[in-house]
Amino acid sequence: MAKNSLFPAFIQMFYSSAYAPHVMTLPINTWSPISSGHDAGTALAWDGSQQDVITEMDFLTDKLALLAPASVNINSYTVWTMASEDANPQYQVSVDVSKVGTNASTNQSKAVQTQYNMLDTEGQKVKLVLLDFPYIGWDRTTGFDALTSTERDVLGKLMDELSFFSSRNGKRPAVFRSRTTKLNDKLRRAYRMS
């Protein structure tokens, strides 16, 4: 499999802050079509089981809402599949979410980029990026135990063998490396921040 590919499937999660709309792309393992009791289909977990997309995404979006301020709304997500590494993505299903952030932190969120860096089972880089979420700390954090329990829940779900989240290398995210936080230059310009 080619590195940096979204094959065989991925989920785009759409959320908006007080400042702009954002899209988070989450590669996943092989997706199976909608069936009875699985209104957004299932996907192949790393232990070989089939996991319900809505159940897994409900858990993830619930936890992300705990990290997000009230000005962030997780709106919806869409499942896409690809027939091959270089094929055009094919739309499969969209799910409305409408979850509002509940983080009461007064820390700056405007233009803040928090990035969680992981490695997959083959040592390839994996990242999860949150935009316009309040900063937790500006210092680089390398210890998994130093993260908040909610952060550990989010990353634990992404790295779980019983889940279907993937790297762009087609492997399971497996090792947390660091959390980094900065002001995103592109957002600073877009928001006309000095």
Q: Is residue 4 part of a domain?
A: no
Q: What are the pLDDT digits (tens) for 55-69?
A: 999 999 999 999 999
Q: Residue 2: inside a domain, yes or no?
A: no
Number of folded domains that form the chain: 1
What pLDDT is recorded for position 2?
Answer: 58
The neighbour count for residue 143, using CB atoms within 10 Å, is 9
Residue 163 falls inside a structural domain: yes
Enumerate residue ranges in the chain where pLDDT < 50.
none
C-alpha to C-alpha distance for 19 and 108, rounded to whole angstroms: 13
Would 30 be classed as within a structural domain? yes
The domain of 122 spans: 9-190
Is 52 within a domain?
A: yes
pLDDT at 173: 98
Q: Is residue 35 part of a domain?
A: yes
**Cα 116–Cα 119–Cα 125 angle in degrees, nearest 5:** 80
The per-residue pLDDT for 194 is 78
Cα dihedral 176→59→183→125 (10° resolution):
30
Residue 102 lies inside a defined structural domain of this protein: yes
- Domain-embedded: residue 95: yes
Q: At what angle do helices 149-159 and 53-67 cross, to 10 degrees?
A: 150
